Every structure is written in C-alpha cells, then in structure tokens.
Structure 1
Amino acid sequence: MAGRSHGRKQAAGEAPEASATLAKARDISRKIEKAIEEDPGQFRVLTGDRPTGHLHVGHYFGSLHNRVRLQNAGVETWLVIADYQVITDRDGVGPIGERVRSLVADYLAVGIDPARATIFTHSAVPALNQLMLPFLSLVTESELHRNPTVKAELEAAGNRAMSGLMLTYPVHQAADILFCKANLVPVGKDQLPHIEQTRVVADRFNSRYGKVFPRPHGLLSEADMILGLDGDKMSKSRNNTIELRMDADETAKRIKKAVTDSERFIAFDPENRPEVSNLLTLAGLAQGRSPREIAEKIGDAGAGRLKAVVTESLNDFLAPIRARRAEVEADPGYVEKVLHEGNERANAMADATLDEVRKAMKMVY
C-alpha cells in the first residue's frame, strides 16, 4: 500500500511514533531489497490469501506481481491459502472448494511456479495449527485486543460477539510465518503490526525455550492503493472489482459503470478527484506509464474516453494471464496435483518444526 516516504512531511493525523515506525520499516525494506540482489538464498517468504472470493486487479498490482518478482529473483516462496481464516468472521465457509481451486489457478496464471514455490492450505497442515497452542501461551489477551485488525473487527462487529478465532488471528498468522521459518513477509504498512506480533512470539519462545525461530521482517510494498470501481475500497464482497478470471467483455461492462465525476477535463488529482485518479492509476499500471501522462493525453475527451483507455489497457495487460488461466482450468487434475504436492511439502516442514518445538519444550516422552 502506497504511503509517504521517509523524510517527507508527516501525514495529517498520523502519530509521530507511527510515522517513525513506518520510516524504519521503509529503511529496512530498502536494505532487504539490496540483500536480495546479492544473495536471494538467505530469504524465505511467506504470504497468501483467504479464499473468500476471486482474485482481482487490486490483488495483482498490490501483491501478486511482487510475489512473482521475488520468486524469479531466487527467493524461496511459500503461499498459504488461509482456508481456516475464512471462518474468523463468517458463519460458514461458502463454496470454499471452488474458491481454493480458483486461487491456485490465479497463482499459476500470473506466474507462480510450483517448482519454485509451495502452495498449500491451512486445513491440510495439522502441525502448523498445533503451533498455536504454545504460541498462545506467549501473548496476553490485552496484546491481542490492541492488534489493529482485531480492534477494527471489534468496532465493525456492532452487537455481534467476536469469535475466539478472530481474537487469536494474529497468533494464527504468527504460526503461518514461523512454521516454515520464514524471515520475510511482503506487507502493506497497515499489516506491520502483524509482523511485530510474530516477532514478539518468536522472541518470547526463543527466550523461554531456546533458539528455534528467526525474527521475520516485513518487506514493505510501495504499491499504489487501488480503489474499487465505485470509489470505495476494492473488495471481493462489494462487487466493485475487475477479477483476473473475467473475460474482456465483462471487464468492459464493469468499467463502463465505474464512478467518475462531472468534470469533462481529465486530470490526475488523487485528493480532489479520487475516482478519476483511480482509473488513471489502473491504466498507468497496466501500461507501465505515469497516470499524469495518460491524463494529459486524454485531456478534455471526458470520462467516456477515460473508461475506454482503462478498458483497453487492462484487457491488453490481462490477456496473457487469462490465456494461461484458461489452460490451467482446462486441466483440473493439474491444479489438484499442485495443491497435493504443496500440502505434502508444507506438512513435512510443519512436522519438522513441531518436533523441534516439542524438543525445545522438553515435551518428547
């Protein structure tokens, strides 16, 4: 998620300590990027998604392309399909099997290589989830309540009680990261507290029982914040996205309904014209050009021309991804094979880590 860089004026309303934390995270991320160039083999990445819907262009530009970049740079990559986390804030799992397979198809379509990356699901790796038991003993209830994601969920819940799984969500994420001893987690600035919670878990375990876990770092994403076509946050649940799996016609229909404003002259002004600027950002990302440059070219041609440019840009950009996805979908056995082999690798890693944890805790009898 994009933010102001170190050295610029502090954002309005941002606490000084938050600004300092973000500046430090950016500095660490720059050093990590240089270290990756020198020796990618020293890093192991853990990242992933909840299978609550289909992946969209916000996911691609926000994280998927970066995962492929890190994989291609030689960084060992682990991708968790967090199916257990679907029920943190929902009463059921929905069509979860179809959504899990859709995630795998999207990963393969954008360039994730199962020979270099491990794709697995929470529910298929018992030892990963068992790590939550000792990890929960290392954190306090008040610490969990202070986590920004937990606080936001509590505020949004209204009269509905928070589930125990939602409250312990940060610890489950720590288990995701530490089960494979990942030391690098690509994140947006809003997710930095989760990395800090994981570091706390690792530090406390190592202090109490002996060194087992690395201290992971967040690799801060500088991706532009992409809004939905309605001008709100791009979200699978709001139906305001361009999904990677959509065809060119469906993409055109979605963009045609996108919110703009009443001004005919097209300009890139994120503060005063967020909807228009968001469409320009999408076109810029797809074309690899500055959104301001695209705006200048459109000029006074109006919102109709802007939407046509965005449609053409995205459809051209997504065409090879969609072609690859069609190939993957035509061979469902391949998707099953990728997931089965990834789950096997994840289980082997989790079993080994859990054995090490039990030995450190003197619980091998």
Structure 2
Amino acid sequence: MDTGKKRILTGDRTTGKLHLGHYVGSLKSRVELQDAYDTFILLADIQALTTHFENPQLLNESIFDVAIDNLSVGLDPNKVTIVQQSAVKSIAEMTIFYSMLVSVNVLRHNPTIKTEAKQYGYSDMSYGFLGYPVSQTADITFCNADLVPVGEDQLPHIELSRRIVRKFNGMYGTSIVEPQAKLSEVSRLAGLDGNAKMGKSLGNAVYLSDTAKEVDQKVRKAVTDPARVTVDIPGTPEICNVGKYHKIFTPDECDNIWEMCRTAKIGCVACKKKLTNSLNTLLDPMREKRAYYEAHMDEVKDIIVSGTKKASAIGDAQVETMRQAMHLTI
C-alpha cells in the first residue's frame, strides 16, 4: 500500500556484529527517521561476499547478528522492512541489466573502489568486487528508493547509481527513481586505538553487543593525549580520542570535561570512567532489547522472512517493468 512517504534504503554488510561507528554513522538516524520515511533495511550478504566469500559461516551467522543489532537500537519491525539481500532475486537480475551500461574503466576509477581495494590488499580485483557499485544500484532501485543515507566516502557510488539509472531511463523510457544521497551527520568514528576509523577487522571497536565489563575494559585501553603522561600536565582534548568520544556520547558534560582536562583538574582514568558510564547508559536499553530477541530467534527469522517476501514482490514488479521496456518478454 502506498503510504505517500518517501522511501529510504539503507543497510549493513553481514560480516559480523555492528559497533558504535555504525550506530553514530547510520543506526541512530534510522531510528529517528523510521516514522517519517518508508524504511528498507538491507542485510547485505551479497555485498559481504565481495570480501568474505571464503567464510560463508560468518555470513550466515551475521544475517541474524546484524538484524538483531538493528532491532536492538530501537527499529520497529512494524515500521521498517528488514530484507535479506540475496533472497531478493530481482536484485541479481537488475545487476545484470545495469552491468551492460557501465564500462570496466569507469568502475576501476571509482575512488571508493580504489580505496577499498587498497584496504583489503587486492592487487587483482574479482568481478564481484569491481562491480559492487553496480549491484548497489540494483539494491537501491529495486524498490525505487528516494534517499540513501551514506557517509562522504560513499558519494561516488551514489553518483554512479544516478548515472546508471539516468542512462537506463533514457534508453528504455522507464521511470526508475534517481536516488539522492542523504549525508550522515557523523560519517566516521575513530577507533579506540587512535586509528582514523573504527572497524570490525581492526580490533579497535566497541560493539553494540558488548557487556558493561567489556566496554570498561576497552575504554581503559583507549589511546589518549600522548603528551599527558601525568595527571598534573594540562591536556589537549581536541586531539584525544576519549575527548572526541565525549563530544558525541557525553554532549551535556563535554564542555566541562574538556575544560577540566585543559586545566589538569581531571585525569585520564577518571575521564575514561565518565566515558564508560556514558556508553553503558546508551547501550543498556539496547542490551535489554537484544536479550529479548536472542530469546526469540524464531521471531527474528519471521521478521527477516516477511520483510524479504514484501521486498521480493516489489522487486519482481520492478523487473517486469524493466523487461517489458527492454522487449525481453515473449
């Protein structure tokens, strides 16, 4: 049924549990937008295959882990549609159609692809990895999504998607929606180790599923201002990871905490303790919801299956329109 709302398509690669970087970069806004938009959440297991094809067991487990992470932060299964990407057959068919409209040269020069290939150490990219922006275009357009929340690093993918859709519509007279990027307010969260990015494979993440004790242990090891070797030395919170985290997770007290740091009125141990309290205050309600869903895995499966069934019906209709426009029906 048409609700009259604009549609958002977003999602997560199913390569493990989600962390605070995912929360500030995307999950938080998903919760805030779920009433205003018709929201589709993609469990992106095909995208996960581009880098984790040798570990299918991880991908299978992660489908449920990622679904529960989304549900635990406050997404309402009665308001959003959670979809297993690989089970929507129209996405695969649309990927093939779109691939005819994009040159290998364009894909090779996509800055996001180049950056990710370097990150994974790929000197020789697989067809699936190189063509992942084409598959992403199918992800977005199988349901005619209007908006795609992304960080700045993903903007080249969205622009390529717009070009592909524009070309397809121009060639075949279809009216597939050209997706618009919706930039995340916080696109990247630094890792606890000082790395520019919090990542699953970097060992520097606080996971949404971490216990209070695990959060405490991780924050204790967080890198701080290297010049502040004793409590009586004034700090520089702007360059301190813990200081940056306070700006996001302890906003009401951040100015005071930063001032105490600058004037050596608080030490790193006490500062980290405050951050631990803030993070656990944020995560406690999520832990409660997680405990419920982990005790009701059949319900989680039903949410995924029903969402995927709904998405498949929408995608099948989209593909049928495309096939007719391309004169592929007999």
- Partner residue of 1:3? none
- Partner residue of 2:8? 45
Shift of 1:226: 1.5
Give, in whole Å, the separation in 2 of the partners of 1:322 and 1:285.
20
Shift of 1:94: 3.9
Structure 1: any 5+ residue segments left out of the alignment?
A: 1-39
Determine if contact 1:48/1:81 at 8 Å carries over to the other structure. Answer: yes
- Partner residue of 1:259? 223
Shift of 1:171: 0.2
Determine helix, strand or coil for the equivalent of 1:173.
helix
Residue 349 (structure 1) aligned with residue 302 (structure 2): no
Residue 100 (structure 1) aligned with residue 63 (structure 2): yes
Shift of 1:48: 0.5
Aligned-partner residue type, residue 82 of structure 1: A
Give, in whole Å, the separation in 1 of the partners of 2:211 and 2:164.
44
Residue of 30, 41, 49 corresponding to 1:87: 49
Shift of 1:330: 1.0
Q: How does 1:243-322 map to 2 (within 5 A)?
A: 243-260=207-224, 261-263=226-228, 264=231, 265-269=234-238, 273=239, 276=240, 278-289=241-252, 291-298=254-261, 299-300=263-264, 301-322=266-287
Give, in whole Å, the separation in 2 of the partners of 1:155 and 1:248.
35
Give, in whole Å, the separation in 2 of the partners of 1:364 and 1:159.
40
- Partner residue of 2:112? 149
Aligned CA distance change for structure 1 residues 123 and 229 (closer, same or farther; 3 Å): same
Determine helix, strand or coil for the equivalent of 2:34.
helix
Q: TM-score, normalised by structure 2?
A: 0.92
| Structure 1 vs Structure 2 CA RMSD | 1.7
Identity of aligned residues (%): 38
Give, in whole Å, the separation in 2 of the partners of 1:51 and 1:309.
32
Determine if contact 1:228/1:240 at 8 Å carries over to the other structure. Answer: yes
Structure 2: any 5+ residue segments left out of the alignment?
A: none
Give, in whole Å, the separation in 1 of the partners of 2:96 and 2:214.
46
Determine if contact 1:266/1:303 at 8 Å carries over to the other structure. Answer: no
Determine helix, strand or coil for the equivalent of 2:267.
helix
Q: How does 1:19-30 map to 2 (within 5 A)?
A: none
Aligned CA distance change for structure 1 residues 222 and 157 (closer, same or farther; 3 Å): closer
Residue 239 (structure 1) aligned with residue 170 (structure 2): no
Give, in whole Å, the separation in 1 of the partners of 2:170 and 2:259.
58
Residue of 40, 54, 58 corresponding to 1:78: 40
Give deviations 1:261-282, integer Å, cap 9, x for gaps.
Answer: 241434332xxx2xx2x32232
Shift of 1:96: 1.9
Residue 323 (structure 1) aligned with residue 292 (structure 2): no
Give, in whole Å, the separation in 2 of the partners of 1:290 and 1:168.
46
Give, in whole Å, the separation in 2 of the partners of 1:70 and 1:310.
27
- Partner residue of 1:123? 86
Residue of 262, 278, 297 corresponding to 1:332: 297
Give deviations 1:99-142, integer Å, cap 9, x for gaps.
Answer: 11011111111111111111111211111111011101111111
Shift of 1:283: 2.6
Shift of 1:359: 0.8
Aligned-partner residue type, residue 142 of structure 1: N
Give deviations 1:54-91, integer Å, cap 9, x for gaps.
Answer: 1111111111010111113x200011111011121234
Give, in whole Å, the separation in 2 of the partners of 1:309 and 1:354.
53
Determine if contact 2:227/2:235 at 8 Å carries over to the other structure. Answer: no
Determine helix, strand or coil for the equivalent of 2:52.
coil
Determine helix, strand or coil for the equivalent of 1:77.
strand
Q: How does 1:162-201 map to 2 (within 5 A)?
A: 162-201=125-164
> How many pairs are equivalent?
319
Q: TM-score, normalised by structure 1?
A: 0.83
Give, in whole Å, the separation in 1 of the partners of 2:257 and 2:96.
53
Determine if contact 2:250/2:275 at 8 Å carries over to the other structure. Answer: no
Determine if contact 1:83/1:122 at 8 Å carries over to the other structure. Answer: yes
Aligned-partner residue type, residue 361 of structure 1: M
Aligned-partner residue type, residue 277 of structure 2: E
